Amino acid sequence: MGGARDDGFTAYVAGRRAHLFRTAYLLCGDPHRAEDIVQTALAKLYVAWPRASRADSVDAYVRRVIINSHLDERRRPWRRESPTEDERLDRAAPPGVAPEDSDALWAALKELGPKQRRVVVLRHYWGLSVEETAADLGVSPGTVKSQTSAALDKLRTALLADPGATTTITTSHRGGRR
Task: Kindly list the distances between the CA atom of residue 95 and the CA atoms of 102, 126, 145, in Å, as whole numbers in the listed order.
Answer: 11, 19, 30
The predicted structure's pLDDT at residue 172: 37
Whether 87 is covered by a domain: the verdict is no
More confident residue, 61 or 1: 61
The predicted structure's pLDDT at residue 160: 84
Whether 176 is covered by a domain: the verdict is yes
Read off the CATH number of the domain in which 44 is found: 1.10.1740
pLDDT digits (tens, 9 = 90+) for 68-81: 888 887 776 655 55
Quote the CA–CA distance of 106 and 52 in Å, as a whole number.
33
Q: Where are the alpha helices (DSSP H) in the chain?
A: 4-28, 31-52, 58-75, 99-111, 114-120, 130-137, 141-161, 167-174
Given a cut of 80, whether residue 164 has pLDDT beyond it is no
Whether 13 is covered by a domain: the verdict is yes
- Inter-residue contact 134 to 143 (CB < 8 Å): yes
Q: What is the secondary structure of 72-123 as a DSSP string?
A: HHHHSGGGG---SSPP--SSPPPTTS-HHHHHHHHHHHHHS-HHHHHHHIII
pLDDT digits (tens, 9 = 90+) for 15-60: 999 999 999 998 888 899 899 999 999 999 999 998 888 878 888 8
Given a cut of 70, whether residue 14 has pLDDT beyond it is yes
- Percent of all residues in the chain with a pLDDT value above 90, rounded to a whole number: 37
Which band of pLDDT confidence, cut at 50, 70 and 90, is reported for residue 105? confident
The predicted structure's pLDDT at residue 70: 86
Same structural domain for residues 109 and 62? no
Same structural domain for residues 146 and 70? no
Q: What's the chain's average pLDDT?
A: 79
- Inter-residue contact 28 to 70 (CB < 8 Å): yes
Taking the CB of residue 96, how many other CB atoms lie within 10 A of it? 7
The predicted structure's pLDDT at residue 40: 92
Read off the CATH number of the domain in which 123 is found: 1.10.10.10
Same structural domain for residues 157 and 101? yes
Burial class (CB in 10 A: 0-12, 13-18, 19+), 84: exposed
Q: Containing domain of residue 147, as a range?
A: 97-178
Task: Kindly list the distances between the CA atom of residue 62 and the CA atoms of 103, 137, 159, in Å, as whole numbers in the listed order.
Answer: 28, 13, 31
Whether 6 is covered by a domain: the verdict is yes
